[in-house]
Amino acid sequence: MKVLQSFTRMQLNRLAWSFCLAGGISITILDSAKAQIPVSINTTSAPAPPFSYTTQKAPGGTTTNYSTFTNYTLNFGKSTNFIFSGISIGAANYSVQQTADIIGIRRRNNAQVTGARQIILFQRDSKVATTVDLAPSFVDTMEAALLSNIINRGADNVFANTGDAAGNNNNIERIDFITSTGITAPSASKIGQVGFVVLDRGGNDPFKIAAITAINPVTNQPTALGTLVSVSSSTTNWGRSTNSSQTINTTVLRRDGSGDLQPSEDANNQPISGTFVSYTTLGITAGQKIYGYAIFPSDVTILMDLVGLTNVPTDTNITSGGLDLLAGGLSFTEYPTTDLKITKTDNQTTAIAGSTINYLISITNQGTSALTSIKVTDVIPTAIQSPVLTPSTGSYNSTTGDWTGLNLAPNTTITLTISGRIDPIFSGTLANTATVSPPSGVEDFNPDNNSATDTTTVTPASPIPNVRLVKRITALNSTPYTNTIDDPADTNDDSSHNWTPNYLTGRTGKGVTAGDTVPVKPGDSLEYTIYFLSDGAAPAQNVRLCDLVPTNTTFLPSVFNSNTPKDSGTSVGDFGIRLTIGSSTSYLSNANDTPDRGQFFASGTSAPCGINGALVVAPNGAITVNLNNIPNATTKGTPNSFGFIRFRAKVN
């Protein structure tokens, strides 16, 4: 990992304040360029869950506060957690803009400490004999104490490698507060109004800070840092309370390895102090994407490997490394925040072609202001057929893909559902992206969550067979009809299918064209032909065709008695059915004489003409033909994929 040499020093332009632990308390802001301005910190109190245990003094801890070989009962959650939510500077209110989701405590073993030593401070309500009552809820790691908005607990001497009389030295060289999804800096006119707040117990400790400008997407560890900024221990850099009621007493607990946190020392009457470091101070430019900030001891320099920490000091003394860090990871902004978040999911990672897919799009206003005229754009992929869209509000234009007429109050969510069928012949990656846009003239401080893409891997469905049927009257009194008629009410006869050209001869008798008539009278003989075409994605197997003899007609059982070849040498009786597959023709008997493939069912009997071969009554009789397996047509005229069945009936 290379040593970064691109850091430049920049004068700190920050705001510091003093406050006490209560909501809306008037305090002062100190800035070298301004007079004192009233400031408030916004906090709330939350119940702290109780937790207790008994332990002894930490090894090496001061005997001033805790005696060796004495059992002490530590009672956590004796009062409340103080929740940090915002600050006010003059008439400007600063609210939480973003919260870090990852903390990284980077360590290098030194002569004093190896491993992950935990040194945590808690506000102390009281100490009577060997009973110590601590105000906030219990945590047992520095990570949990620091990646938090609870400000009456934190970490003691975070960067001190040596020099602490109570043994509270550590091996920490950098603390990273990381927002893994990134933070996009606002426009140039607003960038000075956004920044990070660093809190310290006592307000008398120096440190250095830099923006995290790049991270490893797998490990989430910083790979690049911005300008290294120094914050000294001067009161001009820290706002500290001068009112004794605005200070806290604390107990410092320490642990090496496993086991309990043990008391090492007490500290009294120390004010919680803070400093605000703006994006401008950190050298962040408009539109730049950062990933949080990193804090260092004050003895590092820009000539050191600040990313890999290979050559940073490991003997930092308590003066340079004694920062008593409280809750961190929060960025604050002065202007009202707009943060529209969109998510999109179909709750599956894979799907089968031809199946139904259901998307849920959710838009949430995570900002502090109500928004009107929000627009969402989602152009539905062509692979999704017959989509049905159901918005919870507003309207969707399927031509433009725009969902409009959307208004959102803070912390509210609206939804759009999209349902459709995946094209049966589609395979591969199906990606569907939705994007939300704030109203014209409104800047979204976090545009990284304005777009959401759902990706689904579509696998081909198991090949599905299909058999098309077209019925025609092909002769009247043995005079053939050679018409080829396209019935608009029936798509099965469309020329776009793999029918052999001019194959579907005959008339419908429905008057589709001027010549589509069949003038009949009682006693006439009609020839019916049922054409079939296997044109699915797979061969049609075990096919049986059944056709009811039309009303007001009587099946003619012996019209093919003199024709050959017969379907089977064992065929007996009359032959009233013709079967042609491709160029091969057979004449089938009316009897149930397998392996002959045909059969006639007499009037009033039950024939397998229902759905899936269910038996139904055939008032005028029915014919069935076992077509068995038919290969699927891949082009027009594919051998044996098409044919017809033919019989004759007399008009009653």
What number of residues does the chain have?
652
Number of domains in the chain: 3
| Residue 28 maps to a domain | no
Work out the pLDDT band at 186, boundaries 50, 70, 90. confident
Indicate the range of 140-144, 201-205, 574-578, 581-585 predicted with least confidence.
201-205
Residue 633 has pLDDT above 50, yes or no: yes
Q: Is the domain of 182 the same as that of 69?
A: yes
Alpha helices for 157-224 (secondary structure H): none
Per residue, what are the HEC states of 161-173? CCCCCCCCCCCEE
Beta-carbon contacts of 456 under 8 Å, excluding residues fewer than 6 positions away, are 346, 348, 349, 350, 351, 357, 429, 430, 431
Examine residue 142 and state whether it is found in any structural domain, yes or no: yes
Q: Span 433-442, mean pLDDT?
A: 91
Q: What is the mean pLDDT of residues 496-506?
A: 92
CATH code at position 372: 2.60.40.1530
Q: Are residues 397 and 512 in the same domain?
A: no
Q: Please indicate, yes or no, if residue 21 is contained in any of the structural domains.
A: no
250: β partners: 123, 267
Between the CA of residue 502 and those of 486, 494, 628, 639, what are the distances in Å? Answer: 11, 11, 25, 16
Name the domain boundary from 412, 432, 459.
Answer: 459
Predicted confidence band at 97 (pLDDT cuts at 50, 70, 90)? Answer: confident
Same-domain status, 476 and 390: no
**The domain containing residue 471 runs over which residues?**
467-651
Confidence of residue 430 (pLDDT cuts 50, 70, 90): very high
Q: 208-260, pLDDT tens digit by residue?
A: 999 999 999 999 999 999 999 999 887 666 766 554 545 889 999 999 988 99
Closest CA to 27 of 231, 332, 325, 274: 274
Nearest to 276 by CA among 327, 238, 329, 246: 238
Chosen domain end from 315, 333, 351: 333
Residue with tokens 């049986």: 544
Distances (CA, A) of 169 to 164, 172, 296, 558: 6, 9, 15, 109
Considering the domain boundaries, does residue 89 fall inside one? no
228-237, 324-333, 585-594 — which is least confidently predicted?
228-237
- Is position 1 within any domain? no
> 579 and 487 in one domain?
yes
Residue 4 has pLDDT above 50, yes or no: no
Pairing outcome for strands 395-397 and 402-408: antiparallel
Do 328 and 363 belong together in one domain? no
Instruction: Check whether residue 611 and residue 595 sit in a common domain.
Output: yes
Are 211 and 255 contained in the same domain?
A: yes
Report which secondary-structure segment, H or E, holds 448: none
How far apart, in whole angstroms, are the C-alpha atoms of residue 606 and residue 84?
A: 82
Mean pLDDT of the chain: 88
CB-based contacts of 622, cutoff 8 Å, min separation 6: 546, 547, 548, 549, 600, 601, 607, 609
Dihedral (C-alpha) 496, 501, 502, 508: value to the nearest 10 degrees? Answer: -30
Is pLDDT of 82 > 70?
yes
Quick one: 519 and 442 in the same domain?
no
Query: In which residue are the tokens 């002769």 written?
Result: 475
Domain harbouring 623, CATH code: 2.60.40
Q: How far apart are CA 601 and CA 333, in angstroms?
A: 85
What percent of the chain shows pLDDT beyond 70?
A: 91
Would residue 517 count as lying in a domain? yes
Q: Answer yes or no: do 298 and 347 share one domain.
A: no
Least confident range of 151-160, 204-213, 487-496: 487-496
Q: Are residues 239 and 347 in the same domain?
A: no
Average pLDDT on 469-492 reads 94
Give 632's strand partners: none
Query: Are 115 and 175 part of one and the same domain?
Result: yes
Last residue in a domain, options 333, 352, 367 = 333
Cβ partners under 8 Å of residue 217, min gap 6: none
Conformation bin of residue 455: beta by default, left when phi > 0, alpha when psi is -120 to 50: beta
Q: So what's the pLDDT on residue 147?
A: 95
**Residues 427, 474 within the same domain:** no
Cα-to-chain-centroid distance, residue 18:
42
State the Cα–Cα distance between residues 165 and 154, nearest whole angstrom.
19
Q: Is 16 part of any domain?
A: no
51 inside domain: yes
